Chains A and B, each alone.
Chain A
Amino acid sequence: MQPILQLYEYWNDIHMSYLDFLSEQGPRFIDGTIMTATQFFLSAILAIMCALTAGLMKLSSNRMIKGTALVYIEIFRGTSLLVQLYWIFFVLPLFGLTLDKFYTGFVAVGLNLGAYGAELVRGGIQSVPKGQWEAAYAISMSPAKRMYRIILPQALLNMLPPWGNLMIELLKATALVSLISVTDLMFEAKQINGSTFLSAQAFGTALIIYYIFARLVVTPFMRWLERVMARKMGRA
Chain B
Amino acid sequence: MFDWRWDFAFEILPRLLQATLNTLAAAGIGYGIAVVLGLVFALAQRTPSRFVTLVVRECVEFIRSTPLVLQIFFVFFVAPQFGIRLSPWVAGMIAIGLHYSAYLSEVYRGGIEAVPKGQWEACTALNLSTTKTYFRVIIPQALPPSLAGMGNYLVGIFKDTPMLSVIGVAELMQAANAIGGANYRYLEPYTMVGIIFLAISLPAAGLIKVFEAWVHKKLGMN
Chain A interface (Cβ < 8 Å from any Cβ of B): 3, 6-7, 10, 74-75, 78-84, 86-87, 90-91, 94-95, 168, 171-176, 178-179, 186, 189-190, 193, 199-200, 203-204, 206-207, 210-211, 214-215
Contacts and interface: CB of A to CB of B under 8 A. Distances in A.
Contacts, number: 119
A137 B144 CA distance: 41
A117 B175 CA distance: 31
A82 B190 contact: no
B68 interface: yes
B30 to A, nearest CB: 14
Given A79-B194, A80-B173, A207-B71, 14 more contacts: A3-B83, A10-B81, A78-B198, A79-B198, A80-B159, A82-B163, A86-B186, A90-B190, A172-B65, A199-B74, A203-B74, A203-B77, A211-B62, A214-B65
Nearest to B75: A203
Nearest to B203: A78
Contact of A207 (B64, B70, B161, B165): B70
Interface residues of B, number: 41
Nearest to B161: A80
Interface in B171-214: 173, 176-177, 180, 186-187, 190-191, 193-194, 197-198, 201-202
A176 B173 CA distance: 14
Main secondary structure of the interface of A (DSSP, over half): helix
A215 B61 contact: yes
5 tightest Cβ-Cβ pairs between the two chains A and B: A175-B67, A199-B77, A214-B65, A90-B186, A79-B197
A86 B161 CA distance: 15
Contacts of A80: 159-163, 173, 197
Nearest to B159: A80
Contacts of A215: 61, 65
A75 B78 contact: no
A7 B163 CA distance: 29
Nearest to B67: A175
A206 B61 contact: no
Contacts of B10: none
A189 B66 CA distance: 14
A186 B71 CA distance: 10
B70 A189 contact: yes
B3 A82 contact: no
B180 A90 contact: yes
Contacts of B180: 90
B65 A168 contact: yes
Scoring A7, A190, A207, A215 by chain B CB atoms within 10 A of each residue's CB, the highest score goes to: A207
A10 B82 contact: yes
11 contacts: A74-B202, A75-B198, A78-B198, A94-B186, A168-B64, A175-B70, A189-B70, A193-B73, A199-B78, A206-B70, A214-B66
Scoring B68, B70, B71, B165 by chain A CB atoms within 10 A of each residue's CB, the highest score goes to: B70
